[in-house]
Amino acid sequence: MRWIFFSLLFLNAVLLVWGMVFASPAPLASSQSAPFKYSDVETLVLLSESTHTDLANVNDFPESGIASGELDTGSAPPSKDENPLCEMVGPFKDSGQADLFLERLAAIDISAELKELELPAGSRYQIYLNPEGSHKEALRKLTELQSRKIDSYIIPKGELANGISLGMFSHEDLAEQHLKKMRSLGLKPEKKVIERTYWENWVMLAPGEAAKMSSLAWGRVMEGINDIERRQNFCLDVASQDNIH
């Protein structure tokens, strides 16, 4: 058995000498990074490896790209020309109802104010004779017309003061018929369109305030106040009252 031991020991010595003399040494790990596989793609450069010139070029973004401190969110900012909408509640028959409603809104930190709105009520059509030079002359003309059984009266004030009114009509076709009739009697009447308006009290919430209120909150603030409605319209600080409809 001794000779087997010495034979194995001899073979190990031979293999050790062979490996040291004839085998090629293993390549050492390079401290340089291997070349990038795709030559047409720029390699990543760490800031610690960059020169001062490279660092200066970091901020050279194209004008159409992302500027410093800005981020493209994919949506344009809201235009200043867009008129905001406000929630309106009304009309209130008296100021007491309106004050109660405003108090309820204030209790839940909703900003609102009372607005008195002048709203269109349709047109009326007046048939008239041009003003006389004085009130005395207007009385003389009125006496003449009434003696001919023509219904008329003196216009007391305004731009037509001392003129003679021959009738007021709510429909233009009726006014035209009366105008032709008066002309057939030898008179020279004119027609004037009078725009009628009326006033209503509405409570207008500030822009964005209505979004804070739930259906339950609306029900509570409007509880017990009858004959009022909610509507949206242009806020009065950016739109004229002509937009209220």
Residues 208 and 143 in one domain: no
Instruction: Look at residue 219 and tell me if it is in a domain.
Output: yes
Q: Structurally, how many domains does the chain consist of?
A: 2
Residues 192 and 91 in one domain: no
The pLDDT of residue 85 = 86
The pLDDT of residue 148 = 93
CATH number at 152 reads 3.30.70.1070
Instruction: Look at residue 26 and tell me if it is in a domain.
Output: no
Strands 85-92 and 164-169 come out as unpaired
Which has the closest alpha carbon to 132: 149, 148, 151, 155? 155
Residues 187 and 235 in one domain: no
Residues 97 and 163 in one domain: no
Summarised one tens digit per residue, pLDDT across range 135-181 is: 999 999 999 999 999 999 999 999 999 999 999 999 999 999 999 99
Residues 209 and 108 in one domain: yes
Question: Residue 92: how many CB atoms within 10 A of its CB?
Answer: 21
Which has the closest alpha carbon to 95: 204, 178, 200? 200
Residues 110 and 127 in one domain: no
Its domain, for residue 173, covers 122-197
The pLDDT of residue 174 = 96
Separation CA 98–CA 227 (nearest Å) = 12
Residue 198 to residues 87, 222, 242: CA-CA distances in angstroms?
21, 24, 13
Instruction: Look at residue 105 and tell me if it is in a domain.
Output: yes
- Supply 187's token pair: 């008179």
The pLDDT of residue 21 = 57
Report which residue type is found at 192: K
CATH number at 222 reads 3.30.70
Residues 181 and 233 in one domain: no
Do residues 203 and 102 make contact, with C-beta atoms less than 8 angstroms apart? yes
Residues 114 and 213 in one domain: yes
Instruction: Look at residue 94 and tell me if it is in a domain.
Output: yes
- CA neighbours within 13 Å on the CB side: how many for 236? 18
**pLDDT digit of tens for each residue in the chain (245 aa)?**
565 666 666 766 666 666 665 555 544 444 444 444 444 444 444 444 444 444 444 444 344 333 333 333 343 444 444 668 889 999 998 888 999 999 999 999 999 999 998 888 889 999 999 999 999 999 999 999 999 999 999 999 999 999 999 999 999 999 999 999 999 999 999 999 999 898 999 999 999 999 999 999 999 999 988 889 999 888 876 444 444 55
The pLDDT of residue 120 = 86
Residues 95 and 140 in one domain: no
Instruction: Look at residue 20 and tell me if it is in a domain.
Output: no
Residues 142 and 239 in one domain: no
Instruction: Look at residue 157 and tell me if it is in a domain.
Output: yes
Residues 135 and 202 in one domain: no
Instruction: Look at residue 164 and tell me if it is in a domain.
Output: yes
Instruction: Look at residue 3 and tell me if it is in a domain.
Output: no
The pLDDT of residue 25 = 52
